[in-house]
């Protein structure tokens, strides 16, 4: 297991004299410096992709309704052509299992990929920091601005920044609620200031959370609130790719002229410029080794690579590497080969098995559900000619968005048949119907007591009578005495 060197830099500054020290540390504000490079580009690609899905998602239309809509009031989830009913809760479970396994797999392979590139906290912080930089300038300008006394310029800069943040946060809250309430209706309600109490609450709450988390809390969420930081160490192993500083190559660090031959002076490659610390969004020094605050964003890699380029040194003083690779001086090939180790292979195998079986069941899912409920009061009754009747209620759910004609039949005993339902029953799109059904069978066709029978419900599309019907079979018991 990789040891996180929590003891190196985390100790608070020693108190100068005996005093009542506040146990609760005042936050030291972090001013991350803008960084450009391959990993920053990757992060922006993920920011754009995830936000395209989030902000754009509710505006898509499908079947004359919102394409993605979680209609909690009607207890139906619409995702493009699929309509999920409460009975489909298993898919939500499976989705969570897939997410969890993906997290295990990605973490085992390359550490906190999720945190660094896709976590909403990272993504919104990235967007909010971008706005901050555009308004107030980069690290040094912001530090200078914060030290200044309040002036008209400072007031207006801060005002514009917070105005933009709040606007974006409110739009985020609006979009979030738009996944649960049709967003066009919601938009009209917002314009008329007539949103319902819950809609208003969640829009403001989600907006406030976005503003607070991405604007103010930032790295504190990762350091103090997120449980992932605390258990990442048990998900890492010596072959996990982590963001590391190559101590052997870098040390001893020190400033030097660009032209100087540092090796003859006994210096390593680290010029001690501190860029890696300045760009870090959680304010750590990666040269102290892996720490639990490191969210794996690779900003320090991008920063250091730029400096190495300027110095004319090879890149990669700070790079994605593994504990094993550093210790045993493995070549890149050897490091990458170790990705395919049993742990990763098992995670991948399980993950693929779950994903494939889920896709298969989703594809084979019959959008028709039938529940058979026996009448409890009257277990059975005599009919004419030595026949026996049992009564059932069939709860038929048409989970698709087209009208269906249902034909009910029954089998399992000689001469068993349904009485009184001659015409097919029409069920409206995406709705359910309770149908009382009377089943009759000759007394001699079964045993005394309970007999297994089978209800078959076949649903045809009245608009396309030739299309293959959907078919669901449900077991039930038929009582003879």
Partner 1 sequence: MSDFNGEFWTVYISVITVASVLACTVLLWTLSTKRVTAGRTADVTGHVWDEDLEEYNNPLPRWWIWLFYLTIAFGVAYLVLYPGLGSFPGLLKWSSRGEYEAEQAKARETYQPLYARYAAMSIPDVARDSQAREMGQRLFLNYCAQCHASDARGGKGFPDLTDQDWLYGGDPETIVATITNGRKAMMPAWGKIVGDEGTRNLAHYVISLSGGAHDELRAAYGKELFAANCVACHGPEGKGNPVLGAANLTDKIWLYGGSSTALVETIGKGRNGVMPAWGEFLGPDKVHIVAAYVYGLSHPAGGQ
Q: Sheet of 425-427: strands edge to edge?
A: 425-427, 404-411, 449-460, 470-480
Question: Within a 10 A sphere around the Cβ of 196, how many other Cβ atoms?
Answer: 12
Helices (H), 179-291: 183-191, 197-210, 219-220, 228-235, 247-250, 275-278
Among 22, 64, 234, 386, binds partner 1 (CB under 8 A): 22
Stretch that binds partner 1, among 33-41, 159-167, 407-415, 430-438 (CB under 8 A): 430-438
Q: Which is nearer to partner 1, 213 or 335 (CB)?
A: 213
Q: How far is the CB of 15 from partner 1 (least distance, A)?
A: 5
Q: Residue 196 interacts with partner 1 (CB under 8 A)?
A: no
Among 139, 369, 393, 443, binds partner 1 (CB under 8 A): 393
What are φ and ψ of residue 274, in 5° steps? 80, 5
CB 359, CB 365: distance < 8 Å? no
- Closest to 350 measured CA to CA, from 102, 111, 93, 92: 102
Q: Residue 432 interacts with partner 1 (CB under 8 A)?
A: no
- Closest to 55 measured CA to CA, from 169, 165, 134: 169
Q: Residue 4 interacts with partner 1 (CB under 8 A)?
A: yes
Q: Residue 73 interacts with partner 1 (CB under 8 A)?
A: no
What does DSSP assign to residue 223?
Answer: I
Q: Which is nearer to partner 1, 254 or 436 (CB)?
A: 436
CB 106, CB 119: distance < 8 Å? no
CB 306, CB 227: distance < 8 Å? no
Among 248, 309, 371, 382, binds partner 1 (CB under 8 A): 382
Residue entry with tokens 């989703």:
362
Question: Within a 10 A sphere around the Cβ of 309, how many other Cβ atoms?
Answer: 12
Q: How far is the CB of 208 from partner 1 (least distance, A)?
A: 15
Among 80, 130, 224, 231, binds partner 1 (CB under 8 A): 224
Q: Which is nearer to partner 1, 18 or 152 (CB)?
A: 18
**Helix or strand (DSSP H, E) at 477:** strand 470-480
Stretch that binds partner 1, among 18-26, 176-184, 294-302, 315-323 (CB under 8 A): 18-26
Q: Residue 88 interacts with partner 1 (CB under 8 A)?
A: no
Q: Which two tokens stand for residue 285?
A: 């020094």
Q: Residue 24 interacts with partner 1 (CB under 8 A)?
A: yes
Q: Residue 26 interacts with partner 1 (CB under 8 A)?
A: yes
Stretch that binds partner 1, among 73-81, 141-149, 178-186, 390-398 (CB under 8 A): 390-398
Binding pattern for the stretch 324-363 against partner 1, x by CB under 8 A and - elsewhere: ----------------------------------------
Query: Residue 89: helix, strand or coil by DSSP?
Result: helix
What are φ and ψ of residue 67, in 5° steps? -65, -40
Among 272, 285, 375, 405, binds partner 1 (CB under 8 A): 375
Stretch that binds partner 1, among 183-191, 264-272, 296-304, 376-384 (CB under 8 A): 376-384
Among 329, 376, 448, 464, binds partner 1 (CB under 8 A): 376
Q: Which residues are within 8 A (CB) of 343 and not within 5 positions of it... i.e. 6 or more apart?
A: 108, 237
Among 149, 331, 377, 465, binds partner 1 (CB under 8 A): 377
Query: Residue 82: helix, strand or coil by DSSP?
Result: strand
Q: Residue 21 interacts with partner 1 (CB under 8 A)?
A: yes
Query: Residue 394: helix, strand or coil by DSSP?
Result: strand
Bridge partner list, 89: none
Q: Which residues bind partner 1 (CB under 8 A)?
A: 1, 3-4, 6-7, 10-12, 14-27, 220, 224, 375-378, 380-382, 389, 391-393, 420, 434, 436-438
């Amino acid at each position: 297991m990789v040891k996180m060197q929590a003891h190196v830099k985390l100790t608070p500054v020693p108190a100068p004299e005996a005093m009542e020290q506040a146990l609760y540390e005042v936050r030291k504000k972090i001013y991350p410096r803008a960084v450009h490079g391959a990993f920053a580009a990757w992060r922006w690609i993920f920011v754009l992709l995830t936000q395209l899905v989030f902000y754009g998602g509710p505006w898509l239309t499908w079947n004359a309704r919102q394409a993605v809509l979680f209609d909690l009031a009607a207890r139906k989830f619409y995702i493009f052509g699929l309509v999920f009913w409460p009975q489909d809760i298993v898919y939500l479970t499976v989705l969570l299992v897939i997410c969890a396994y993906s997290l295990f797999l990605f973490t085992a392979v390359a550490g906190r990929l999720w945190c660094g590139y896709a976590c909403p906290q990272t993504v919104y912080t990235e967007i909010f920091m971008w706005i901050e930089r555009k308004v107030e300038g980069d690290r040094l300008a912001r530090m200078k601005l914060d030290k200044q006394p309040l002036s008209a310029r400072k007031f207006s800069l801060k005002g514009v920044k917070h105005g933009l943040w709040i606007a974006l946060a409110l739009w985020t809250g609006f979009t979030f609620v738009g996944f649960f309430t049709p967003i066009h209706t919601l938009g009209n309600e917002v314009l008329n200031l007539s949103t319902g109490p819950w809609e208003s609450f969640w829009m403001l709450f989600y907006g406030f959370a976005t503003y607070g988390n991405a604007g103010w809390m930032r790295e504190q969420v990762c350091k103090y609130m997120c449980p992932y930081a605390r258990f990442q160490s048990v998900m890492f192993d010596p072959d996990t790719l982590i963001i590391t500083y190559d101590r052997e190559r870098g040390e001893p660090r020190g400033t030097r002229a660009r032209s100087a031959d540092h090796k003859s002076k006994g210096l390593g490659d680290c010029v001690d410029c501190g860029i890696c610390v300045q760009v870090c969004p959680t304010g750590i020094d990666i040269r102290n080794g892996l720490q639990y605050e490191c969210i794996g964003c690779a900003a320090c890699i991008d920063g250091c690579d730029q400096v190495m380029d300027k110095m004319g040194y090879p890149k990669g003083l700070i790079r994605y590497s593994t504990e094993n690779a550093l210790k045993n001086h493995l070549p890149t090939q050897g490091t990458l080969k170790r990705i395919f180790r049993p742990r990763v292979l098992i995670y991948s195998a399980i993950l693929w098995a779950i994903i494939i079986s889920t896709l298969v069941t989703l594809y084979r899912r019959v959008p028709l559900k039938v529940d058979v409920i026996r009448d409890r009061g009257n277990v059975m009754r005599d009919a004419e000619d030595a026949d026996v009747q049992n009564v059932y209620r069939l709860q038929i759910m048409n989970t698709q968005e087209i009208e269906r004609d249902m034909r009910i039949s029954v089998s399992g005993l000689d001469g068993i048949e349904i009485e009184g339902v001659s015409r097919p029953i029409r069920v409206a799109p995406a709705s359910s119907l309770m149908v009382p059904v009377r089943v009759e069978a000759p007394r001699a066709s079964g045993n005394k007591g309970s007999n297994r029978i089978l209800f078959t419900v076949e649903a045809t599309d009245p608009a396309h009578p030739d299309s293959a019907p959907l078919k669901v079979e449900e077991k039930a018991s038929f009582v003879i005495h």
